[in-house]
Amino acid sequence: DNFLLALEDLQIGRIDAAVMDGPTAQSGISDRSLAIVGTINTGEIYGYAVRKTDSGLLDLLNEGLRRIQASDTWDTLVEKWLVGN
């Protein structure tokens, strides 16, 4: 429902990752055992977070992001969800 609930769910393991605005994520993790582990370059500042102990998930997310950014699908997704209306 909101970013604080997402961070709480992330911290207790109810979800594995969250994507939100960078400044929002930064303020939300300051008193939690979470870290911002990546960003998505859209002209806006977005990032995703995983528990510090989830290095395997982080590796999967980073590899998936690298693959999709190298494909034509990336531009389509950015246009549909981040640029277009």
**Residues 18-36 pLDDT 10s:** 888 888 888 888 888 898 8
Indicate the pairing of strand 18-21 with strand 45-51. antiparallel
Beta-bridge mates of residue 48: 19, 38
Residue ranges of the domains in the chain?
3-83
**Can you identify the CATH homologous superfamily of domain 3-83?**
Periplasmic binding protein-like II (3.40.190.10)
- The 10s digit of each residue's pLDDT in 47-84 is 788 888 999 999 999 999 999 999 988 888 877 777 65
Confidence of residue 85 (pLDDT cuts 50, 70, 90): very low
pLDDT of residue 39: 80
pLDDT computed for residue 78 by the predictor: 79
| CA atoms of 17 and 11, how far apart (whole Å) | 9
